[in-house]
Structure 1
Amino acid sequence: MKKGMIALAIIIILIIGYIVASWYTGNMIQNQFERKITQLQEKINQNPYLLNVEFQYDDYKKGIFSTSFHIKVNNPKTHHTLVDDVVIIYHGPLPWSELKAGRFLPKMAAVFYRTSQDGNEKLWQASGDQPFMTLNASIDYYDNINILVANQPINYTDDKGRHWQTSQNNLVVSIDKQFDNMSLNGSIGQLIMENSSAAIQRISVNNLSLSGKYITESDQTHNLDQQFRLDELSLLSRLNNDENKLSFNKLVLTFENTQINDTLSGKLLTSVDSLSFDQQNLGKGQMLIGYTFDKNDLDKQNMLASLDKFSWHTQQGELNANFAIQIKEVSLKSYKQLTQDDIVLATSQVNFPLKPLSYLYAQLMNPKQNEPTQNDIDSASQFITVFSQLFLSNSPLIDVNVNSENSDENGLFIDLYYSKEKQEARLKGKALTISQFWQAINHNKLPHF
C-alpha cells in the first residue's frame, strides 16, 4: 500500500511539475515573443537568398499548455499576402504536438500550423476536405529550429484553368540560433500540371529529391549550395494538332553560389542520363555554367559569364563547346549598347562534327520513329551542308568544313580568343591584332593575310 501511495505521489508531482514547467515556458514565450518575431523578420530580410517579409500578429491567447495567435505574413515589395491564419505554439518541456508525433526529446516550444478552409476553399476541397499543408516547427533550449512541412495529395484546378496533381510530399529545414546556418532536405513523389490552352499542355515530375545548405562565413560572405535530382521530367506539347513529348531521365541540377559583399558568383552543373523526344533517344550530356556579377548595382557591372563545358553524346559521336565573356563597368539595363571597349575577355571553342550533328537533326525531324533511317541522316547532312555553305561560310567566327574527303573532319568549328588586357586575339586559328579582330567582327569578314 505504501509503495502504491509513493508511486501515486510521484505521478502527482510529475504532473504538477509538467503543468508548472509548461506554464512557465508559456510566460517565457510571451515575454520574448515580440522580440523574436522582430528578430526573425530581420534575419530573413538580411538573407540574400530569401524573400523579404513583413510579420503582423494579433489575437494573442496564452494558455497553460499552448498559445495561439493570428499572424499575417506579407511581401512588402509585391504586397502579396503569403500567410493569413492562426498558429498554435505548444509549450515545453514536452510539447503536446511533439509527443503525438512520437518525438520525446525535451523542447522549449513547438509551433503547429495547418492551412485552413477559410484560407483557400479550393485547396481544402482538393485535399479531401482537410488541410492541404501542415507545418511542425520545434525550438530546442539552444534556440535551434527544426521544421517539417508536409502536404496532402491534391487534385486541383486553379483560377487560370491549370489542373494540378501531387502526391504527399515532405520538406525538412534545420536552422541554427543565429540563422547563419540552414539545411534543407525534401522529396516530391509526383507533381503534374496540365493546361489544355497552353503550348505545353502537361508538365510531369517524378521522384524529385532536393537538398541544400546555407552557411554564413562572415557578415560579408554567404554560401548557398542546392541540388535537385529527379527520375523524370516530361513536357507534353501540342502544336498544329501534332503532339510531342520531351523527357529528361535521371536529371541532376547542382547550384553553388557565394556572395561576398554585393558580388555574387557561382556555377550551375546539370547532367542528364538520357533525353527522349517522342520515340527518339537524343543521347546524354552535361553542362557547366559559371557567373560573377554585382547583384545590387546593375548600372555598373564587372561581369563574367561562362559556359565552361557543354558535352552531348549521341550514337554517332560527341558535340562539345565552351564559351566565356567578361565585361567591365557596363549597364546590364542597356546591354544592346555594348561596345568593343566594354569587353575585357572573350573565348570560345566549338567542335560540332557533321556526323553527330546530322544524326541529331534527323532524330528531331523524325520523332515518331525509333531511330532515323540512313536516308533521314543523309538528308539532314545535306541540309546542314547547304545551309552552312549559304549562310555561315563567310562568317569570321565559324569555320565551316563540309567537303573534306575524310568525313570525320567535316563539321562546324569555332576557335575564338580575345584579351583586351594582353592585347591578343585569334579567329579560326589565326592570330590577329586587336584592331583586326574587331574589323573582322564588325564587317563579318576575316582580313587577308
Structure 2
Amino acid sequence: MKKSLVAVGVIVALGVAWTGAAWFTGKQLEQRIEDAVSEANRQIKATAPDAGLTLEYANYQRHVFSSRLQIIAKPDTGAQSSWLKPGQSVVLDETVDHGPFPFAQLKKFTLIPSMASVHTQLAQNETTKALFEMAKGQSLINIDTRVGYSGATSSDIALRPLEYSKGKDKMAFSGGNFTANVDSKGNHLTLKGEADSGLVSMPNEYGQQVLVTFNGLKTDGETEVSAFQERTGSQKLSLEKLSLAVEGKEMAQLQGLKINAQSAPDADGKHLNGEINYTLDSLRMQNQDMGQGALTLKVSKLDGAAAHQFSQRYNDSLQALKAQPGITDDPQLYQEKAIDAFFTNLPLLLKGEPVVTVAPLSWKNSKGEGSLTLSLFLKEPAARNPGSAIKSLDGKLTIPLAMATELMTQVAKIEGYQQDEANKLASQQVKGIAAMGQMFRLTTVENDAISTSLQYSGGMATLNGQQLPLEQLLGIFGLTPPDNDAQPEEAPEPPFLSPQP
C-alpha cells in the first residue's frame, strides 16, 4: 500500500512538474513569436525580394499544454510587385504542443526535451481553394516541427498527392516527403527529400496535346549565410526520368539527370568560389539514342562584397522595372530591359578579377566523345569600354569525326531517312563542315577529329597556332573591336583567312 501511495505521489509530482514546465515554455514561445516572424520577414526580403510578401501572426490562443495561432502571408504594401494579388492571403494553421515533452513527440516516441512541437497545415480560403480541390479536400502541405530551446528547428514536411482535370488540362503529383533543419538564427539550412512522380498535360499553341512527366525526383543540400550575406553551401538534385510527348508520341526522354552545385568562401575570406556539375546518362529523341553529356562550370575569385552589392542593385533594378506601367505586358521589352540592367551592374562582379572555367562540356555516343574546355580570366573593365573585361582566354574544342557522324545520323533518322541514307547524309554533312572549317582555317583535322584551339591575352590572339591582333579575330566573327572610338562599318577580312583556292 505504501509503495502504491509512493508511486501515485511520484506520478502526481511528475505531472505537476510537467504541467508547470509546459505552461512556462508556452509563455516563452509566446514571447518569441513576434521575433520569429520579424526574422522570417527579414529572410524573405534578403533571399526572395521578388516575392513581395510579408508575414504576420494572428488569433493566438495559449493554453497549458498547447496553443493555437495562424501565420498569414500577405502582399507587402511597400513592395513594387508581389506573388499575391491585393486582397489575397495564404494562411497557415499552427497547433503548438508545449514542452518539455510535447504530446506530438511522445506519439512518435521522441523523448528529446523541446520547447515545443508544432503542426502546420494550410488553411482553406479563396486563394487556396483550388489547391484543396486538387488534394481532395485536404491540406496540400503538412509540417511537423520540433522547436529546440535554442530556437533551432527540425521539420518533417509531407506534400499530399494532387489530381486536377478540366477539359484537356490535366495534372497529377504523387506527393513527396522532405526534412528541413534550421539553426536558431536561420543562417544554416539543410533540406532533403524526394517525390516519386508527376505529370502535366495540356494543349500547346497549335492545339496539340503535350504531356510532360517526371519520375524519381530527389534533393539533398545545405546552405549557410556567408559573411557577405549571400547563401553558400551545396545542393544535389537528381531526376530518374523526364519525358516529353506530343499527341501521344514520345518526342524526348532524359534519363539519369543529376545536378550538383556548391559554393563556399575562399581561404582569404574575401572571395567566393562556386562549381556546378551537370550529368545526363541518356538522351533519346523520337526513340533515337542521341548519347549522354556532362558539364562542369566553375567560378572562382568572385569578390564577395561586390557580389552582394551586385545582387542588391540588380534586384532593385528589376523591381523598378516591374513598377513601370505596362512593362510586364510586353515580355520581349521586359527581357531586353532586364538584360540591360544585368550588364549595367555587371562590372561590380568583375572587381575581384574572377575566373570562369568550363572543364569540360562533353557529349558522348557509341562512336566517341567530343569536348570543349575553356578558361576565361576577367577583370573590371575600363570606363566606357565594357569590351576590356576579358583579361585572357584559353579554349580548346575536339569533336571526333566518327562521333559527329553518328550524331548526325541519328538526327537524319529523326527527319525520316532510312539507316543507309542517314549514314550517307551524315557523312557528307560532317565532311563538309570539316572542309569549311579548314578552308577558313578556323578548325583543323588531326587524329580523325575536328579541333580548334584559341588563346587570347594582352590584345593578341592565337588561333590554331596562328597569331593575330584582336581586331582581326573579332573580324572573323563579324564583330567590332572593343573600344568606343569610331570604327569602320565592316572590319577588313584578315588576309591569312582568305578562302584557299
**TM-score band, normalised by shorter chain:** 0.7 to 0.9
Match of 1:176 in 2: 183
| Alpha-carbon contact 2:99-2:117 (below 8 Å) kept | yes
Match of 2:482 in 1: none
Q: How far does the alpha carbon of each residue in 1:279-305 deviate from its partner, in whole angstroms, 9 at most, with x for none?
A: 222222211123466443542422654
SS in 1 for 2:428: helix
Q: Pairwise mapping of residues 22-421 of structure 1 onto structure 2 (< 5 A)?
A: 22-46=22-46, 53-74=53-74, 76=76, 77=79, 78-81=81-84, 83-118=90-125, 120-157=128-165, 162-197=169-204, 201-216=210-225, 218=227, 222-237=231-246, 243-258=249-264, 265-291=273-299, 294=307, 295-296=310-311, 298=342, 299-301=345-347, 302=350, 304-329=355-380, 340-367=387-414, 373-386=419-432, 389=435, 395=440, 398-399=442-443, 401=445, 409=448, 411-420=449-458
Measured after TM superposition, the shift of residue 344 of structure 1 is 2.5
* CA–CA distance in structure 1, aligned partners of residues 456 and 75 of structure 2: 45
Measured after TM superposition, the shift of residue 327 of structure 1 is 4.7
Q: Partner amino acid for 2:21?
A: A
SS in 2 for 1:366: helix
- The verdict on how the C-alpha distance between 1:440 and 1:249 changes in structure 2, with shifts beyond 3 A counting, is closer
* CA–CA distance in structure 2, aligned partners of residues 222 and 105 of structure 1: 30
Measured after TM superposition, the shift of residue 228 of structure 1 is 0.8
- The verdict on how the C-alpha distance between 1:41 and 1:259 changes in structure 2, with shifts beyond 3 A counting, is farther
Q: Partner amino acid for 2:496?
A: H
SS in 2 for 1:195: strand
| Alpha-carbon contact 2:53-2:83 (below 8 Å) kept | no
Match of 1:334 in 2: none
* CA–CA distance in structure 1, aligned partners of residues 75 and 276 of structure 2: 28
CA RMSD of aligned residues (A): 3.5
Provide structure 1 residue ranges, at least 5 long, that are not aligned to the other structure.
Answer: 332-336
* CA–CA distance in structure 2, aligned partners of residues 345 and 103 of structure 1: 58
> Which structure has the highest strand share of the two?
1
Q: What's the TM-score once normalised by structure 2's chain length?
A: 0.75
Q: What's the TM-score once normalised by structure 1's chain length?
A: 0.83
Q: Pairwise mapping of residues 9-24 of structure 1 onto structure 2 (< 5 A)?
A: 9-24=9-24
Measured after TM superposition, the shift of residue 244 of structure 1 is 3.7
| Alpha-carbon contact 1:41-1:54 (below 8 Å) kept | yes
Measured after TM superposition, the shift of residue 162 of structure 1 is 4.7
Number of aligned pairs?
429
| Alpha-carbon contact 1:222-1:259 (below 8 Å) kept | no
- The verdict on how the C-alpha distance between 1:137 and 1:52 changes in structure 2, with shifts beyond 3 A counting, is farther
* CA–CA distance in structure 2, aligned partners of residues 223 and 50 of structure 1: 20
Worse-superposed segment, 171-180 or 96-105: 96-105
Q: Partner amino acid for 2:164?
A: Y
SS in 1 for 2:95: strand
Match of 2:326 in 1: none
* CA–CA distance in structure 2, aligned partners of residues 289 and 148 of structure 1: 33
SS in 2 for 1:355: helix
SS in 1 for 2:7: helix
Worse-superposed segment, 274-283 or 42-51: 42-51
Q: Partner amino acid for 2:5?
A: M
Measured after TM superposition, the shift of residue 227 of structure 1 is 0.5
Measured after TM superposition, the shift of residue 263 of structure 1 is 6.9
Provide structure 2 residue ranges, at least 5 long, that are not aligned to the other structure.
Answer: 314-341, 480-490
